[in-house]
Amino acid sequence: MSELKNDRYLRALLKQPVDQTPVWMMRQAGRYLPEYRATRAQAGDFMSLCKNAELACEVTLQPLRRYPLDAAILFSDILTIPDAMGLGLYFETGEGPKFERPIQSMADVANLPIPDPEDELGYVMNAVRTIRRELKGEVPLIGFSGSPWTLATYMIEGGSSKTFGKIKKMAFSEPEILHMLLDKLADSVISYLNAQIKAGAQSLMVFDSWGGVLSPRDYKEFSLTYMQKIVDGLIREYDGRKVPVTLFTKNGGLNLESIAATGCDAVGLDWTVDIADARRRIGDKVALQGNMDPAMLHGTPERIRQEVQRILEGYGDGSGHVFNLGHGITPDVDPENAGVFINSVGELSKQYHNK
């Protein structure tokens, strides 16, 4: 078993005792950091940055040089799988990701390959291996994927959407096509995440960014069923250590009990959920990750500390909490404020442990 100098994050996910609450930030490698912007300019564009193992490693490590974070997260994108399936991913400035060939029919789904993680997605595995080597056991490395429902939304809508009209039309008029796509995506995610574990990822996270646009019944049918399939198909122990899995559905507060029942180790919370309430509902079954509003990082240092204290108080004593934002840090945040947030968690959380 490879030794970790700081395994606080993995211990908290498994609800084992820790000396303080671990903290990391979604999108911690990103545009709010000037050094990230410089590296991205060097790479040329976003996907070129993802596909260059050395540069992807560099931006993964940048926030760890600035802040006492308890985990690194692979620098990649959730759309790597649909891209490897041949849908023609490209990025429009200011508009986000788009696909040249969106999915419209059963034939489109039937023709989709399940990408080989060491071939079409080999650049991701190279990045995982490079980052894991360069971390030198300082903190664990998180691997991740988008959820089948979230990937399907981009693949069917052809990019971002406000109404999700095309995928919902398919869900309610031709559900068999959508289920076939979601099943294929679940198989692809399982092989992709298991390959990340073998390449060096020590924990996994599934991002269900758009699960919250579904009614609770439809959420279970079109999103949770497939995340359940993924949880069931993942390697859960590797290199002598458990590999914890976190499921995060944005706006998923109505569905916490169902998410916790999948057998995942942790449930990610966005900021619309009260963490004390979440702990009462599911905190005996799983660890909780979250859940400060990313916009709070625009507050004064006093206000940020106050909010960290409020969330720590809400969770209460004992392990099983990984502090994070309720969604990704936004590009317009002052890096100094991110530092206030991270340092406050370390300083203020000690009192809730070792009692």
Annotated binding site for substrate: 27-31, 77, 154, 209, 327
Query: Of 295, 300, 193, 297, which is closest to residue 247 (Cα–Cα)?
Result: 193
Q: Which CATH number fits domain 8-352: 3.60.10.10, 3.20.20.210, 3.40.50.2300, 3.10.20.340?
A: 3.20.20.210
Overall size of the chain counted in residues: 355
Residue 194 pLDDT > 70: yes
pLDDT band, residue 168 (cuts 50/70/90): very high
Residue ranges per domain, the chain?
8-352
Q: What is the pLDDT of residue 2?
A: 65
pLDDT average, residue stretch 312-328: 98
Residue 173 pLDDT > 90: yes
Residue 115 pLDDT > 60: yes
Residue 180 pLDDT > 90: yes
pLDDT band, residue 354 (cuts 50/70/90): confident
Query: What are the catalytic residues?
Result: 27, 31, 40, 77, 154
pLDDT band, residue 203 (cuts 50/70/90): very high
What are 14-57's pLDDT values in tens digits?
A: 999 999 999 999 999 999 999 999 999 999 999 999 999 999 99
What are 147-161's pLDDT values in tens digits?
A: 999 999 999 999 999
Tokens of 147: 């959820």
What pairing do the DSSP bridges indicate for beta strands 141-146 and 203-208? parallel
Q: What is the pLDDT of residue 331?
A: 96
Residue 94 pLDDT > 90: no
Query: Of 62, 70, 74, which is closest to residue 23 (Cα–Cα)?
Result: 70
Residue 138 pLDDT > 90: yes
Q: How far apart are CA 57 and CA 128, in angstroms?
A: 8
- The rounded radius of gyration (Å) of the Cα atoms in the chain is 19
Q: What integer best gives the mean pLDDT of the chain? A: 97
Neighbouring residues of 66: CB distance < 8 A, sequence distance ≥ 6: 33, 335, 339
Neighbouring residues of 319: CB distance < 8 A, sequence distance ≥ 6: 11, 12, 15, 16, 17, 18, 287, 353
pLDDT average, residue stretch 132-156: 98
pLDDT average, residue stretch 167-194: 98
What are 252-293's pLDDT values in tens digits?
A: 999 999 999 999 999 999 999 999 999 999 999 999 999 999
pLDDT average, residue stretch 63-90: 97
pLDDT average, residue stretch 78-85: 96
What pairing do the DSSP bridges indicate for beta strands 245-249 and 203-208? parallel
Question: How many other β-carbons are positioned within 10 Å of the β-carbon of residue 180?
Answer: 15
Can you state the angle between helices 34-43 and 53-66, rounded to 10 degrees? 170
pLDDT average, residue stretch 224-241: 97
Q: How far apart are CA 33 and CA 40, in angstroms?
A: 11
C-alpha of 229 from chain center: 17
Residue 95 pLDDT > 90: no
Q: How far apart are CA 168 and CA 343, in angstroms?
A: 43
Q: What is the pLDDT of residue 1?
A: 55
- Whole-model pTM: value is 0.97
What's the per-residue H, E or C state across the chain?
CCCCCCCHHHHHHCCCCCCCCCECCCCCCCCCCHHHHHHHHHHCCHHHHHHCHHHHHHHHHHHHHHCCCCCEECCCCCCHHHHHCCCCEEEECCCEEEECCCCCCHHHHHCCCCCCCCCCCHHHHHHHHHHHHHHCCCCCEEEEEECHHHHHHHHHHCECCCCCHHHHHHHHHCHHHHHHHHHHHHHHHHHHHHHHHHHCCCEEEEEECCHHHCCHHHHHHHHHHHHHHHHHHCCCEECCEECCEEEEECCCHHHHHHHHCCCCCEEECCCCCCHHHHHHHHCCCCEEEEEECHHHHHCCHHHHHHHHHHHHHHHCCCCCEEEEECCCCCCCCCHHHHHHHHHHHHHHHHHHCCC
pLDDT average, residue stretch 229-239: 97
Q: What is the pLDDT of residue 96?
A: 85
Question: What is the distance in angstroms between the CA of the first residue and the CA of the last residue of the chain?
Answer: 30
Q: What is the pLDDT of residue 53?
A: 97
Q: How far is CA 18 from CA 175, 236, 355, in A?
A: 45, 21, 11
